[in-house]
Structure 1
Amino acid sequence: MTYTPPIAEQRFLIDHVVRLAEVAGPNGFADATPDLVDAILEGAGQFAAGEFAPLNRIGDELGAKWSPEGVTMPAGFREAYKAYVEGGWGTLAGPAEHGGQGLPHTLAMVVMEDLGSANMGFSLAMMLTPGAVEALKHHGSPELQKTWLPKLVTGEWTGTMNLTEPQAGSDVGALKSRAVPNGDGTYAISGTKIFITFGEHDLADNIVHLVLARTPDAPEGTRGISLFLVPKILPDGRRNDLKCVSIEHKLGIHASPTCVMSYGDEGQCTGWLIGEENGGMRAMFTMMNNARLNVGLQGVSIAERATQQAVAYARERVQSARAGHGRDPVRIVEHPDVRRMLLRMKALTQAARALTYYAAGQVDRATLGDEAAKARLDLLTPLVKAYGTDIGCEVASIGVQVHGGMGFVEETGAAQHYRDARIAPIYEGTNGIQAADLVGRKLGLAGGSTFAGLIADMRGEAGGQAALSALIDLCEAIGGELQAASPDDRLAASYPFLTMLSVAVAGWLMARQAAVADELDGDPAYLAMKKAATRFYLEQVVPEAIGLAASARAGAEMLYAMDEDMLAA
């Protein structure tokens, strides 16, 4: 199954959801002219379809291979990664003072969407490096920036994020890795990290690890965590004392080596402090929030690829007569239930993309100093990560269903999309953690005014959409209730509320697009598709979210009505 980049859809969102023209000008991203944007969309799509998509099946079947000497990728991957670097695709939103092009983050997200749709596992090699760049840009010393940023920006070197340890899991405050001062400004790093994406590979000449560790006498918990830059190859060309001791055998994303990393086995692992001592979580969250947006985008990517494949299959597969329309077998795309599934796939994918691109636009506004946009981005980040990845899983699952029995057979490729998508709701903070973050921190931003501002903007454009208006009203009411609720009741409500708010935001942005399509003089087929997808979302998906209000208001008591022994019975 080939990949066709959704260029018309991406351009429509850039114009009418991101509204890039508002930030691309003499006081903003002046180089982001319409011609350049078009060239990037066309070029990125062609590159992803031509270089990355052909390796998708190969990466799934062969995967990354571990040996004591390191991790090797399947044939063709090193060449494709070299083409990515030489094409400058990693430099788009990189800081200009360190070799980047200084273009809007939105355009870099378009590239990542295309790469993820073409080959999700492989695209992870590119996903974390921009986060490492952001962490160094905002928290690294001038010396660290000068040494490490230029080749991270180009992608000649890749970056990783090292948080998780075997005994700690998502409880980062329980980590035990150590960083002892060497007396020369460097630190001796020791410890083991797990689930490190592309922690070792043969695509680039160096890998720059960002590692959380504790200095001697550091406070307990997250208050005592510092962040360190720990490269595979030191500035003098020597190999650092770190190694990948194994890679995980996973359900999907086989082209992405998930590594167990060991630091300082010989007592000679050198690292440099990023930011202030004991300020590691603040620095790491700069990287993590970047990664969370990109993981939400992965949900969009896999949903797009699964939808394209399901539509192509449904248009070719002939089976059974359509009830009430004669006896001759028809293509399954003509059957009402298959049409329902395909339209749901398309509407959900477009809604998740709209939410993700809108957040990217807030990144660009925040970069230009818009504090309100920065606050809104903080509020939206858990929605993008959780809802985007939930949609990726749902759409990939529907894609298997459209294929019928053949969807459960690996040769069709539908199963790979489902397997690849399933990790996304788990990593970079599980979606349950995102929901807890939303109700525990984000609703109360700026005394609740950030949430109130989002509600007001949505309500202002929802006129005439009864279901959407009702959902927005419910989100406002329940959001207020949760801020006064007990911790248990708040957390019990967190996931259904996150879904409600995500659907409200996505529905608002879909409604905006449909309104534009009514007035725009463009491709009639595309505009009709946009209006039909929006209608499905507003009339079928939005009412489903309204139905979650009962769950969001149910409280925690029923969750504990069955004790542990009953659960095990």
Structure 2
Amino acid sequence: MSLDYQVPLRDMRFVIDEWIDAPAWWRSVPAWEDVDGAMAQQVLEEAARFVTERIAPLNSVGDLEGCRFEGGEVAMPAGFREAYADFVAAGWPTLALDTVAGGQGLPQLLEVALQEMLAAANHAWLMSPGLTHGATACLMAHGSAALKRDWLPKIASGEWLTTMCLTEPQAGSDLALLRARATPDAVHEAWRIDGSKIFITGGDHDLTANVVHLVLARLPDAPPGTKGLSLFVVPKWTLGANGEHVRNGVHCEGIEKKMGLKASPTCSMRFEQALGWLVGEPHRGLASMFVMMNAARLQVAMQGVGHAQLAWQRAHAYAHERTQMRAVSAPAHHEGEPGRAAPIAFHPAMRRILLDLRASVEGERAIGYWIGYWLDVAARHPDAQERQAAGQLASLLTPVAKAFFTANGFAAASSALQVFGGYGYIHEYGMEQTVRDCRVAMLYEGTNEIQAIDLLVRKVLGDSGGALRALLAHVTAEAARCTAAGDPALTGAGARLAALVADVQRITGEIAQGSADDRELPYRVADDYLALVGWLLLAFAWARTLRIALNAPADDPFYAEKRTTACYFFAYPLAAFDHRLQLIEVGCRVPLPHV
């Protein structure tokens, strides 16, 4: 039995090549004429080799060693700095970066797959370089010519790492309460930043020679609320008049003692007359920062998939080796003495857990990569209307993926620990660390409850359901293809999928109508609504998977497992859709009491 992380390359290729058929679209993009399935496979295989050889071995030892805070500086666990240097030297930070900014210009879809690998292999290690992509996109979209000249190249390449400094002690999700201040510095043609920030991932470390902070603060004439926030580049080290490095007024005051991700420093930061440079327009900092935040939210979604993959993989390996008790039934191919203790994978309770894990992670991988595909369409399609529609769809799907995938990732880790029994509760088997590490993904980059409000209030009701109708059109088209196929299992899946679409349309209309007289209604049902859409997406993923698998060779075990898991999904886990629908219907009728 091996508990080492194994990258699911076969399933990744299935999603990219067959479920999405991405290479066919890549050929229509002039910049990607040479990007085909073979090249994608080569990229994924090389990424898998790097991740399994250089990143995964540091996961457990980094958790045990943790980060050290000494003399106002943070030291990372042994091996982290060297692995990061190799990561940069191999060019992985620039994989999907536009060639204009010095990147390789490959599809975002491949970046999404890389992020899943890194999260599964070593979530804590990923945390420090995790914001590079978003920070680069933010500066490319809103940075001045000087910022792009002086800061962007080293950030984009990974030579310098970045942070996202939003949260303050009195202001978590409510950014309107931020107090950090920026005052003009005419001598340096810059600003002086003062204030404190907390929960700053990678606020200080020894991975790179410089740490560049993207900080939200208020100008002296700022209006109140979020409309008064401006964004600044504030480096740990600035350049002096003669090119020398000068220590800026940026101070790490300590690192948090956390439940998990102990090898990732979460810092309390103090900015004291720190030199900073404005990004974008004054008082428009939140709009600039959203470029970075949206990129981070899809990455966090893939952290949920990565944790679920690792949980499923380890639980599956352990369950087929661990023997306990006699099995009520066993597979026909199983050979053994009657009455002998059987692998726990033969017991119904364990089979349910393992099938749930597989159905969850493989369905989510398809949807997560599908979002990456729509980001590519939004960036590269020659038609402006198509770009806008793709961007709108990706924007709708991102909060669903962030919240639904991370909640399922934590549930998957907990269920996998249950498969291990008592062994799952000790460090050597890796499951207790996975449970600890994945829990925070439901909290950061906007709590899952915030994502649910964003989905229902802003992106469904806020645009009168336009993006939702576009999504449901894709799902409806898949349902029609399934019902027309003739296979009984596929026809049933298509009919069920069409019924789910009708339910979502109906309940969305009821929420919109009821909200006119009950302003709290959408906020009351938002969590259940997001989960409802999440289960719809999984049904969409498995219906399409079943259709593809039924047209594949019957004797190929990969497709046989796909058919089995798809049928299981529609019979068992999808009942959660009905449960969420019932909760929304109750929420439409019954207000919540105050406590």
Q: 1:13-37 deviations in whole A, cap 9, x for unaligned? A: 1123433224312435334222221
Within the alignment, does 1:456 sit opposite 2:459 as a pair? no
Alpha-carbon contact 1:179-1:189 (below 8 Å) kept: yes
Question: 1:304 & 1:491 partners in 2: Cα distance?
Answer: 32
Alpha-carbon contact 1:482-1:490 (below 8 Å) kept: yes
Alpha-carbon contact 1:379-1:442 (below 8 Å) kept: yes
Report the AA paired with residue 248 of structure 2.
N
Q: Quick one: which of 80, 98, 106 aligns to 2:83?
A: 80
TM-superposed CA distance for 1:522, in Å, is 9.2
Question: 1:529 & 1:65 partners in 2: Cα distance?
Answer: 46
TM-superposed CA distance for 1:377, in Å, is 0.7
Q: Quick one: which of 461, 473, 483 aligns to 2:502?
A: 473
Report the AA paired with residue 91 of structure 1.
T
TM-superposed CA distance for 1:439, in Å, is 0.9
Map of 1:392 onto structure 2: 409
Question: 2:206 & 2:141 partners in 1: Cα distance?
Answer: 29
1:202-217 equivalences in 2 (<5 Å): 202-217=206-221
TM-superposed CA distance for 1:260, in Å, is 0.6
Map of 2:21 onto structure 1: 19
Map of 1:256 onto structure 2: 264
Map of 2:335 onto structure 1: none
Q: Quick one: which of 224, 246, 256 aligns to 1:238?
A: 246
SS in 1 for 2:69: strand
* Structure 1 residues 28 and 482: CA distance shift in structure 2, 3 A: farther
Q: Quick one: which of 104, 114, 118 aligns to 2:121?
A: 118
Question: 2:464 & 2:458 partners in 1: Cα distance?
Answer: 10
SS in 1 for 2:173: coil
* Structure 1 residues 517 and 150: CA distance shift in structure 2, 3 A: same
Report the AA paired with residue 195 of structure 1.
F
Within the alignment, does 1:552 sit opposite 2:555 as a pair? no
Question: 1:522 & 1:324 partners in 2: Cα distance?
Answer: 25
TM-superposed CA distance for 1:324, in Å, is 5.7
User: What percentage of residue pairs aligned between the two structures are identical?
Assistant: 39
Question: 1:137 & 1:534 partners in 2: Cα distance?
Answer: 42
Within the alignment, does 1:306 sit opposite 2:311 as a pair? yes
Map of 1:346 onto structure 2: 358
* Structure 1 residues 438 and 324: CA distance shift in structure 2, 3 A: closer
Within the alignment, does 1:39 sit opposite 2:51 as a pair? no
TM-superposed CA distance for 1:235, in Å, is 3.0
Q: Quick one: which of 371, 374, 389 aligns to 2:388?
A: 371
Map of 1:97 onto structure 2: 100
Map of 2:294 onto structure 1: 289
Within the alignment, does 1:506 sit opposite 2:538 as a pair? yes
Question: 1:108 & 1:479 partners in 2: Cα distance?
Answer: 33
Report the AA paired with residue 478 of structure 1.
I
Alpha-carbon contact 1:467-1:543 (below 8 Å) kept: no
Q: 1:269-289 deviations in whole A, cap 9, x for unaligned? A: 100000000001100111000
* Structure 1 residues 185 and 523: CA distance shift in structure 2, 3 A: farther
Question: 1:10 & 1:51 partners in 2: Cα distance?
Answer: 20
Question: 2:363 & 2:591 partners in 1: Cα distance?
Answer: 31
Within the alignment, does 1:147 sit opposite 2:150 as a pair? yes
Question: 2:432 & 2:475 partners in 1: Cα distance?
Answer: 37
Question: 2:239 & 2:509 partners in 1: Cα distance?
Answer: 53
Map of 2:195 onto structure 1: 191
Report the AA paired with residue 20 of structure 2.
V
Unaligned runs of 5+ in 2: 331-337, 382-386, 484-490
User: Larger deviation: 482-491 or 305-314?
Assistant: 482-491
Question: 1:395 & 1:467 partners in 2: Cα distance?
Answer: 25
Question: 1:144 & 1:21 partners in 2: Cα distance?
Answer: 35
TM-superposed CA distance for 1:151, in Å, is 1.6
Q: 1:231-266 deviations in whole A, cap 9, x for unaligned? A: 1111331111101101111111111111111111xx
Question: 1:432 & 1:456 partners in 2: Cα distance?
Answer: 26
Unaligned runs of 5+ in 1: 565-569
Map of 2:334 onto structure 1: none
Question: 1:443 & 1:513 partners in 2: Cα distance?
Answer: 27
Report the AA paired with residue 467 of structure 1.
R
Moved runs in structure 1, 4+ residues, more than 4 A? 556-559
Alpha-carbon contact 2:230-2:278 (below 8 Å) kept: yes
SS in 2 for 1:271: strand
Q: 1:486-526 deviations in whole A, cap 9, x for unaligned? A: 33111111111111111111211221122112223598111
* Structure 1 residues 140 and 31: CA distance shift in structure 2, 3 A: farther
Map of 1:567 onto structure 2: none
User: What is the aligned length?
Assistant: 560
User: Larger deviation: 547-556 or 271-280?
Assistant: 547-556
Report the AA paired with residue 131 of structure 1.
G
Alpha-carbon contact 1:196-1:259 (below 8 Å) kept: yes
TM-superposed CA distance for 1:79, in Å, is 0.8
Question: 2:128 & 2:107 partners in 1: Cα distance?
Answer: 21
SS in 2 for 1:473: helix
Map of 1:360 onto structure 2: 372
Question: 1:525 & 1:146 partners in 2: Cα distance?
Answer: 53
Report the AA paired with residue 197 of structure 2.
K
Question: 1:374 & 1:18 partners in 2: Cα distance?
Answer: 17
1:163-202 equivalences in 2 (<5 Å): 163-183=166-186, 184-202=188-206
Q: Quick one: which of 36, 44, 55 aligns to 1:52?
A: 55
Q: 1:191-231 deviations in whole A, cap 9, x for unaligned? A: 11111111111011111111000000200000000000111
Within the alignment, does 1:415 sit opposite 2:429 as a pair? no
Alpha-carbon contact 1:68-1:245 (below 8 Å) kept: no
SS in 2 for 1:560: coil
Question: 2:160 & 2:519 partners in 1: Cα distance?
Answer: 43
SS in 2 for 1:196: strand
Give the CA RMSD over aligned residues: 1.6
Alpha-carbon contact 1:507-1:542 (below 8 Å) kept: yes
Alpha-carbon contact 1:468-1:542 (below 8 Å) kept: no
Alpha-carbon contact 2:19-2:548 (below 8 Å) kept: no
SS in 2 for 1:217: coil
SS in 2 for 1:367: helix
* Structure 1 residues 324 and 523: CA distance shift in structure 2, 3 A: closer
Alpha-carbon contact 2:17-2:37 (below 8 Å) kept: no
TM-superposed CA distance for 1:482, in Å, is 2.0
Alpha-carbon contact 1:19-1:361 (below 8 Å) kept: no
TM-superposed CA distance for 1:557, in Å, is 7.2
User: Larger deviation: 529-538 or 184-193?
Assistant: 529-538
Q: 1:385-444 deviations in whole A, cap 9, x for unaligned? A: 001101101110111100011112222211111111100011000000000011111114
TM-score by length of 2: 0.91
SS in 2 for 1:415: helix
Q: 1:48-93 deviations in whole A, cap 9, x for unaligned? A: 1111111000111111111224110111111111110111111111
